[in-house]
């Protein structure tokens, strides 16, 4: 066990990707208990990915890429700004609320941070916010991504642990909204102390309705996904594939926002992101088998109960 932990932390400190660190540590762990157990490495590597619900992850990621490329991000920000942009620190509030709306499409923190990091951070700096504050708000908002369904982390956890993914999705809605409200409360508390910018205009029903109409195509997607899953109509994988088809129709046909080359680029980006996630899962499966064989979980539980 000492050899495995030492290898793990040394490789991690050297900056090696987590997927490779877990894989190497897992193989070394199998080698320490016997050469013949090395044959378990490829078997556990592929068995860790042999779960049908995992197909939902690349579909959700691709749907998020398509909606982001079609300009939906700007429409969601516009709707969020119409709702809360009149408050002190309005752009920060809009950033947080838009993160909730965008999380209902992608369910991933990286997609959220990438989308708003390229759009809202420069816009906030231009309006007088400091760059560290703008980056902090965007980073805090991106955490909502894995909490609000459809969450890729919930798909992973539910598939591996045999827990209902629909139940996890239903359980994630309220915590995600609470995180958003608490972050907005912090922004309100910091508003006067940091002298955050305040919009000159108040809330306008006309502007809210106009922004809602512009962003309606994006707001429908979470309803389709969650309605199908929680209603028992579709599985998470089927709902994810429907989301891709919907995003393709909205972005490619209605808005004409991307070409065939853009679709190819989105497929490549989705493949890279999915590959990183699946490598970590598969490598962790090797480590998990080694830990189970050595009864490490039982030893840890006994240590806490002692």
pLDDT at 268: 92
Cα-to-chain-centroid distance, residue 255: 25
Same domain for 296 and 221: no
- How far CA 173 is from CA of 5, 100, 103, 145, 277, in Å, comes to 36, 10, 11, 11, 23
Tell me, yes or no, whether 125 lies in a domain.
yes
Q: What would the mean pLDDT of 244-263 be, rounded to a whole number?
A: 84
Each residue's pLDDT tens digit, 23-63: 898 888 888 888 788 888 888 888 888 888 888 888 888 88
Same domain for 283 and 166: no
Residue 262 has pLDDT above 80, yes or no: yes
Task: List the domain range (segments joined by +) for residue 25.
Answer: 2-47+279-305
Same domain for 38 and 19: yes
Same domain for 105 and 216: yes
Tell me, yes or no, whether 265 lies in a domain.
no
Each residue's pLDDT tens digit, 152-197: 888 888 887 888 888 888 888 898 889 889 988 988 888 878 888 7
Same domain for 187 and 73: yes
Tell me, yes or no, whether 230 lies in a domain.
yes
pLDDT at 306: 65
Same domain for 250 and 115: yes
**Neighbouring C-beta atoms of residue 65, cutoff 10 Å:** 26
Global pTM exceeds 0.85: no
* Burial class of residue 263 (count of CB atoms within 10 Å of its CB; 0-12, 13-18, 19+): middle
Q: What would the mean pLDDT of 77-86 be, rounded to a whole number?
A: 81
Q: Quote the tokens at residue 234.
A: 């579709």
Residues 6+ apart with CB under 8 A from 277: 57, 152, 156
Q: How many domains would you assign to the chain?
A: 2
Same domain for 231 and 204: yes
Same domain for 240 and 140: yes
Same domain for 19 and 146: no
**Neighbouring C-beta atoms of residue 183, cutoff 10 Å:** 22
Tell me, yes or no, whether 263 lies in a domain.
no
Average pLDDT, the chain: 83
Residues 6+ apart with CB under 8 A from 127: 91, 197
Each residue's pLDDT tens digit, 23-32: 898 888 888 8
Each residue's pLDDT tens digit, 280-306: 888 988 888 888 888 877 887 888 876
Q: Which residues of 20-29 are buried (b: 16+ CB within 10 A; e: fewer)?
A: ebbbbbbbbb
Tell me, yes or no, whether 148 lies in a domain.
yes
Instruction: Render 233-301 in DSSP notation, one character per residue.
Output: SS-HHHHHHHHHHHHHIIIIIIS----HHHHHHHHHHHHHHHHHHHHHHHHHHHHHHHHHHTTHHHHHH
Tell me, yes or no, whether 269 lies in a domain.
no
Each residue's pLDDT tens digit, 112-142: 777 777 778 888 888 788 888 888 888 888 8
* Burial class of residue 131 (count of CB atoms within 10 Å of its CB; 0-12, 13-18, 19+): exposed
Same domain for 107 and 203: yes
Identify whether the C-beta of residue 86 lies closer than 8 Å to the C-beta of residue 199: yes
Give the model's confidence band at 94: pLDDT under 50 very low, under 70 low, under 90 confident, else very high.
confident
- How far CA 258 is from CA of 42, 148, 152, 215, 252, in Å, comes to 39, 27, 25, 18, 6
pLDDT at 117: 74
Same domain for 7 and 139: no
Q: Across the strands, what pairs with 198?
A: 88
Q: What would the mean pLDDT of 253-268 be, rounded to a whole number?
A: 86
Same domain for 188 and 107: yes
**Neighbouring C-beta atoms of residue 33, cutoff 10 Å:** 13
Q: Across the strands, what pairs with 88?
A: 198
Tell me, yes or no, whether 174 lies in a domain.
yes
């Amino acid at each position: 066990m000492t050899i495995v932990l030492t290898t793990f932390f040394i490789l991690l400190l050297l900056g090696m990707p987590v997927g490779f660190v877990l894989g190497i540590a897992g193989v070394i762990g199998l080698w320490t208990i016997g050469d013949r157990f090395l044959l378990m490495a490829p078997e556990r590597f592929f068995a860790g990915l042999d779960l049908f619900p995992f197909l939902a992850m690349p579909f959700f990621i691709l749907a998020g890429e398509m909606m982001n490329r079609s300009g939906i991000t700007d429409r969601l920000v516009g709707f969020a700004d119409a709702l809360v942009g009149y408050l002190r620190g309005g752009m920060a509030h809009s950033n947080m609320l838009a993160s909730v709306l965008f999380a209902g499409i992608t369910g991933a923190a990286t997609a959220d941070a990438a989308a708003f990091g390229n759009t809202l951070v420069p816009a906030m700096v231009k309006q007088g916010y400091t760059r560290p504050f703008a980056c902090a708000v965007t980073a805090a908002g991106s955490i909502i991504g894995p909490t609000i369904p459809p969450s890729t982390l919930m798909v992973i956890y539910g598939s591996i642990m045999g827990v209902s993914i629909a139940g996890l999705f239903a359980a994630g809605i309220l915590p995600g909204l609470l995180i958003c409200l608490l972050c907005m409360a912090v922004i309100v508390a910091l508003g006067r102390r940091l002298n955050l910018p305040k919009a000159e205009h108040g809330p306008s029903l006309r502007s809210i309705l106009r922004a809602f109409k512009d962003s309606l195509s994006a707001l429908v997607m979470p309803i389709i996904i969650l309605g199908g899953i929680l209603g028992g109509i579709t599985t998470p994988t089927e709902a994810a594939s429907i989301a891709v088809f919907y995003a393709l129709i909205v972005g490619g046909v209605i808005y004409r926002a991307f070409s065939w080359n853009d679709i190819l680029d989105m497929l490549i980006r989705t493949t890279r992101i999915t590959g990183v996630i699946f490598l970590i899962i598969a490598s962790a499966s090797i480590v998990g088998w080694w830990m189970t064989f050595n009864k490490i979980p039982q030893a840890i539980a006994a240590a806490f109960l002692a």
